[in-house]
Chains A and B, each alone.
Chain A
């Protein structure tokens, strides 16, 4: 069974500052993928970044980076130089990369970027 824990229901950050959104996971699968999605107030789910469990380097996509610490089972999202448009819900998710690929989502973290 898989489990994703996002312990921060809400986060505040000032514009242009960096922010870290926490995500820890638990799984018995030897191979898995970790994802972050953004859900703005308009409701759509936007894929941000992916990290494979065997990837040696932390994933980066523009201002997003994933701080992957396998031994700690954490996959924190770092957003650098926050923008007002980053205000949204952020969901961490994982799935096994073999078998059913069924993902598990965390409950989300609400990020508010203020000027």
Chain B
């Protein structure tokens, strides 16, 4: 049973470009979460999605950031017109359908570097 997959593992962008981060949840998981981790800090929640629905995006900046989890295919976190402050590790996690233990299993992360 494959774990959570994220790609790319490392991404370098110049200021003003777009960054697309992909996340495939574990098989059988229908909930996806995105987090950002700055150096020397813990994880900050960004957005929580289920298939074709954004459930909670309270942690995501209002501008330049968007997320989706289509019916088919991976979840995508998109950052438009990146700035140096967007450099961070972005983690995706998935969990089973609602009810009971909601342990989140994390992907390996995408390290974004904005030059």
* Chain B associates with chain A: yes
> Counting CB contacts under 8 A, is A37 at the interface?
yes
Q: Which residue of B lies closest to A50 (CB)?
A: B103
Against A, the Cβ 8 Å flags (1 = close, 0 = not) of B32-62 are: 0101000001111100100000011010000
Q: Considering only CB atoms and an 8 Å cut-off, how many residues of chain B contact the other chain?
A: 28
Rounded to whole angstroms, the CA-CA distance of A104 and B48 in the bound complex is 13
Q: Whole-angstrom distance between the alpha carbons of A64 and B11 in the complex?
A: 34
Asked whether, in the complex, the Cβ of B89 is within 8 Å of the Cβ of A102, the reply is no
- Chain A interface size band reads 20 to 34
Nearest CB of A to B13, in Å: 19
Prevailing SS type, chain B contact patch:
strand
Interface set, chain A 26-56, CB cutoff 8 A to B: 33, 35, 37, 43-47, 50, 52
Contacts of A33 on B, CB cut-off 8 Å?
101-103
Contact with B along A76-115 (1 / 0, CB 8 A): 0000000000000001010101001111111110000000
Chain B positions within 8 Å of A, measured between CB atoms, are 31, 33, 35, 41-45, 48, 55-56, 58, 89, 91, 93, 95, 98, 100-109, 111
The 8 closest A-B pairs by CB, nearest first: A45-B106, A105-B42, A105-B43, A107-B42, A44-B108, A101-B102, A108-B42, A50-B103
